[in-house]
């Protein structure tokens, strides 16, 4: 082989066989079969991660069984870091360069990188919870780390220069679990960098943001980005609060005591001691000022509300410093049923806002309120999963309402992955993990899935990979019912987009909507950007008056998001056959309420692979609209082997009343 032209390298094949912590199996990824086998675990794909850096000595970044990076790789490890790099960790750089070393002193970047492509690590756990073998979604992919964030945040100039460097270095996928507020694309650094990356065939996967459940909070919403919202696994890390009146409340916590204690302790609510809510917010929210109340907090379980500028772990530390023996963390009303299983520094659990009301009612009803916290640990089998997380940012998109965002949801609540230090203060191990939540955690799951698809289908464009993920997504939970939101009522389409990722189905989508890069120009002109604004994205001169612009919904996108009044609207879509050469697809339509959806032709007959066919969709209202309302449905092309679903979101507009002079 070595004598043949074009030979680069060869090494003996090693078969990996281990089991995993939960999210890969929840996503249907299994050893030695299906997508993991077909994609060879993401082998040969390079993923660039823009984040807080990396902990290179963590066993998740061991390169056992890893081939060297592909010959096209031009990236580097900064001088003080060269000894830390290996065949797994093939690049590590900081932006701006003055920021020192790519070492992660936050944990976030280590967590996201190991979620994408961490190697198999046996016995991963936090306080014995969620124990199993930790592994990333694409365990044989290579990681290139671009540290763009420090304790102050992530500068957009740093993010943009890192994206430019990653493009030149030769990454295949870019993963960004960060973002600001929504901006027009021409002044959004992530959208600008992602546009150049997409042009070079690099898929960019970004978190949707954590400002849910309020509408129009989604960020990173450009159509050339895969925008990822967050949902739950079917795993809970359960703890129970029992009050003196025998009432029980189920919470979550990653803390687990070495010796279980069933003793009841007195309850203490610091908010009862806060005289001025403004100046006493430190006490109200269990900040460091809580030590002032140590005389009354000592030996008690303290009730703490989330928020106030202190994170959940800091609150527990404040309770511990004040002599408290436990903490009940209560969420805000908008958090609904979304709970955090945090690695607390003392016995603590997270309960809902409505539980707080019941607890305070009990405390008022008796002179000596008492409670106990017991820990049940890891429990699998929540049939409501996946539930959209309260914090997961919602559409509609502000920058481009005619593109449905987020695109997809994936696991982002209480995710176990690698951490830069031991949350249990263990000093004798590098195998340290933590459980955290956010769209920052769901984005790397999707970046990993994209890497698997890129490995299995090297010729697919970023938009083909994205389409495959979207049109094959699940739209029902494990109970086979519509997705629920954090209120445990049916979620709206602007919470989940095309649905929850189903990696094995995405590997064989049948048809893809392969958005042509050149179509973004008429789309940008259609957003009424000036020539100069369009030029800043193109990085060359643009003239919108010389070309026909298109409305947003006319972009060849796998989903529809339209604002519909009395006039019907017609759009075209083009699909490319990547399934069986000879195949016939028939359309099925689940129309949104009060909307008629007509598709012509209603049958697509393909005779060869990569053949393209175009269809037209006409949307019109079926009754007079009296109030503005969001309705949703979908259309689905079905052959005897595949289905290709496109979600439809419609904002119904009430007719404008004529002005009366």
CA–CA gap between residue 186 and residue 199 (Å, rounded): 16
pLDDT number for residue 428: 82
Residues 6+ apart with CB under 8 A from 98: none
pLDDT band at 275 (very low <50, low <70, confident <90, very high): low
CA dihedral 247→251→255→258, nearest 10 degrees, is: 30
When pLDDT is averaged across residues 530-555 and rounded to a whole number, the result is: 90
Residue 113 is predicted with a pLDDT of 97
Two structure tokens written together for 473: 């997504």
- Output the CA torsion sign for 151, 154, 157, 160: positive
pLDDT of 97 reads: 67
> What is the per-residue pLDDT for 9?
40
The answer to whether 188 and 204 have CB atoms below 8 angstroms apart is no
Alpha helices, DSSP H, located in 487-547? 493-496, 503-506, 520-526, 531-538
| Catalytic residue IDs | 51, 108, 440
Quote the radius of gyration of the chain (alpha carbons, Å). 26
Which of 8-12, 147-151, 529-533, 558-562 shows the highest mean pLDDT?
A: 558-562
Residue 280 has pLDDT above 80, yes or no: no
Work out the average pLDDT over 270-285.
74
Per DSSP, 438 falls in state: S
Q: What's the pLDDT at 657?
A: 66
Distance CA 244, CA 221 (A): 49
pLDDT at 81: 79
Q: Residue range 509-538: average pLDDT?
A: 93
The confidence band for 333, taking pLDDT boundaries of 50, 70 and 90, is very high
- Tell me the C-alpha to C-alpha distance, in Å, between residue 232 and each of 362, 414, 448: 30, 8, 18
Three-state DSSP class for 97? helix
Task: Answer left, alpha or beta for residue 536, where phi above 0 means left and psi between -120 and 50 means alpha.
Answer: alpha
Residue 66 has pLDDT above 90, yes or no: yes
Question: Which pLDDT does position 276 carry in this prediction?
Answer: 65
Q: What span, in angstroms and rounded, lies between the C-alpha atoms of 461 and 483?
A: 30
Residues in the chain: 661
pLDDT surpassing 60 at residue 21: no
Whether pLDDT at 589 is above 90: yes
User: For strand 370-380 and strand 348-351, is the pairing parallel, antiparallel, or unpaired?
Assistant: unpaired
Q: Is the pLDDT of residue 486 over 80?
A: yes
**pLDDT at residue 10 in the model:** 41
- Per-residue pLDDT reduced to its tens digit, 645-657: 999 999 998 877 6
Q: Whole-angstrom Cα distance, residue 642 to residue 420?
A: 43
Q: Is the pLDDT of residue 12 over 50?
A: no
Give the model's confidence band at 119: pLDDT under 50 very low, under 70 low, under 90 confident, else very high.
very high
CB 462 within 8 A of CB 175: no
**Which residue's entry shows tokens 């957003």?**
527
| pLDDT score of 82 | 76
How would residue 129 be classed by pLDDT, with cut points 50, 70 and 90?
confident
Q: Taking 50 as the threshold, does the pLDDT of residue 6 lie above it?
A: yes
CA–CA gap between residue 63 and residue 58 (Å, rounded): 11
* Per-residue confidence (pLDDT) for residue 278, from 0 to 100: 62
CA distances from 418 to 104, 114, 121, 135 (A): 11, 6, 10, 9
Confidence of residue 47 (pLDDT cuts 50, 70, 90): very high
Record the tokens describing residue 238, joined without a space.
């359960």
> Region 55-83: what's the mean pLDDT?
91
Report the alpha-carbon distance of residue 631 to residue 592 in Å, rounded: 5
Q: Please provide the average confidence, as pLDDT, over all residues in the chain.
A: 90
CA trace torsion 620, 621, 625, 630 (10° rounding): -80
pLDDT recorded at residue 279: 61
| DSSP secondary structure code for residue 492 in this structure | P
Q: Which percentage of the chain shows pLDDT scores above 90? A: 70
Q: What is the mean pLDDT of residues 249-273?
A: 87
Confidence bin at 468 (pLDDT 50/70/90): very high
Residue 11, token pair as written in the block: 């090494």
Q: Do 145 and 54 meet the contact criterion of CB atoms below 8 Å apart?
A: yes
pLDDT confidence bin for 274, thresholds 50/70/90: low
What band does 8 get if pLDDT is binned at 50, 70 and 90? very low
Cβ-contact 615, 592 below 8 angstroms: no
Lowest mean pLDDT among 8-12, 141-145, 435-439, 582-586: 8-12
Task: Give the separation between CA 162 and CA 569, rounded to whole angstroms.
Answer: 41
- Whether 18 shows a pLDDT value over 70: the answer reads no
pLDDT band at 151 (very low <50, low <70, confident <90, very high): confident
Confidence of residue 2 (pLDDT cuts 50, 70, 90): low
C-alpha to C-alpha distance for 169 and 85, rounded to whole angstroms: 15
Torsion sign (Cα): 422, 425, 431, 433? negative
157-215 tens-digit pLDDT: 888 899 999 999 999 999 999 988 888 998 888 999 999 999 999 999 999 999 989 99
User: What percent of the chain has pLDDT above 70?
Assistant: 95
> What pLDDT does residue 448 have?
97
Residues contacting 649, CB < 8 A, separation 6+: 395, 396, 404, 493, 494, 559, 560, 561, 562, 592, 630, 632
């Amino acid at each position: 082989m070595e004598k043949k032209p074009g030979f680069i390298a060869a090494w003996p094949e090693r078969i990996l066989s281990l089991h995993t912590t939960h999210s890969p199996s929840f996503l249907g990824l299994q050893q030695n079969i299906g997508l993991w086998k077909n994609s060879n675990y993401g082998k040969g794909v390079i993923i660039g991660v823009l984040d807080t850096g990396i902990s290179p000595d963590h066993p998740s970044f061991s390169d056992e069984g890893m081939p060297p990076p592909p010959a096209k790789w031009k990236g580097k490890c900064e001088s003080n870091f060269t000894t830390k790099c290996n065949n797994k960790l093939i690049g590590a750089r900081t932006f701006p360069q003055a920021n020192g070393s790519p070492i992660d002193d936050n944990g976030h970047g280590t967590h996201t990188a190991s979620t994408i492509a961490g190697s198999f690590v046996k016995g991963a756990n936090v306080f014995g919870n969620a124990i199993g073998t930790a592994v990333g979604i694409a365990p044989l992919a290579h990681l290139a780390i671009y540290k763009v964030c420090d304790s102050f945040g992530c500068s957009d100039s740093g993010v943009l220069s890192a994206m430019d460097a990653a493009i030149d270095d030769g990454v295949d996928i870019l993963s960004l679990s960060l973002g600001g507020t929504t901006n027009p694309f021409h002044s959004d650094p992530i959208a600008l960098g992602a546009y150049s990356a997409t042009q070079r065939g690099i898929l960019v996967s970004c978190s949707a943001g954590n400002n849910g459940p309020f509408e129009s909070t989604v960020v990173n919403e450009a159509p050339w980005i895969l925008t990822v919202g967050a949902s739950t696994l079917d795993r809970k890390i359960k703890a129970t609060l029992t009050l003196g009146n025998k009432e029980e409340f189920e919470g979550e916590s990653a803390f687990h005591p070495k010796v279980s204690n069933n003793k009841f302790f007195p309850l203490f609510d610091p908010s009862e001691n806060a005289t001025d809510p403004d100046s006493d917010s430190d006490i109200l929210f269990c900040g460091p000022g809580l030590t002032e109340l140590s005389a009354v907090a000592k030996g008690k379980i303290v009730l703490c509300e989330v928020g106030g500028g202190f994170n959940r772990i800091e609150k527990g530390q404040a309770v511990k410093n004040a002599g408290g023996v436990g903490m009940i963390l209560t969420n805000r009303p908008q958090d609904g049923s979304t709970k955090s299983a945090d690695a607390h520094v003392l016995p603590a659990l997270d309960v809902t806002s409505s539980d707080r009301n019941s607890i305070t009612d009990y405390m008022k009803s008796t002179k000596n309120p008492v409670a106990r916290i017991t820990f049940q640990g890891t429990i699998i089998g929540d049939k409501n999963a996946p539930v959209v997380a309260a914090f997961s940012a919602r559409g509609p998109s502000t920058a481009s309402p005619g593109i449905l965002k987020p695109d997809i949801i994936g696991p982002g609540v209480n995710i176990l992955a690698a951490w830069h230090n031991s949350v249990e203060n263990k000093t004798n191990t590098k195998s340290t993990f933590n459980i955290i939540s956010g769209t920052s955690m769901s984005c790397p799951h999707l970046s990993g899935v994209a890497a698997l698809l890129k490995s299995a289908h090297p010729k697919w464009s970023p938009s083909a990979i994205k389409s495959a993920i979207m049109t094959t997504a699940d739209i029902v939970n494990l109970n086979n019912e519509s997705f629920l939101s954090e209120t445990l009522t049916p979620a709206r389409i602007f919470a989940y987009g095309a649905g929850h990722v189903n990696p094995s189905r995405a590997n064989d989508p049948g048809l893809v909507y392969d958005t042509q890069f050149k179509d973004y120009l008429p789309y940008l002109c259609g957003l009424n950007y000036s020539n100069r604004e369009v030029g800043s994205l193109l990085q060359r001169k643009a003239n919108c008056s010389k070309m026909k612009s298109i409305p947003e919904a006319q972009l060849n996108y796998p989903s529809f998001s339209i604002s519909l009044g009395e006039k019907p609207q017609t759009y075209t879509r083009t699909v490319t056959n990547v399934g069986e050469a000879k195949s016939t697809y028939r359309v099925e339509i689940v129309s949104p309420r009060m909307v008629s959806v007509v598709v012509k032709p209603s049958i697509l007959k393909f005779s060869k692979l990569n053949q393209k066919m175009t269809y037209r969709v006409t949307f019109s209202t079926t009754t007079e609209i009296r109030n503005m309302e969001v309705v949703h449905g979908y259309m689905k092309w079905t052959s005897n082997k595949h289905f290709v679903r496109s979600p439809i979101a419609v904002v119904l507009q009430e007719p404008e009343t004529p002005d009366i002079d």
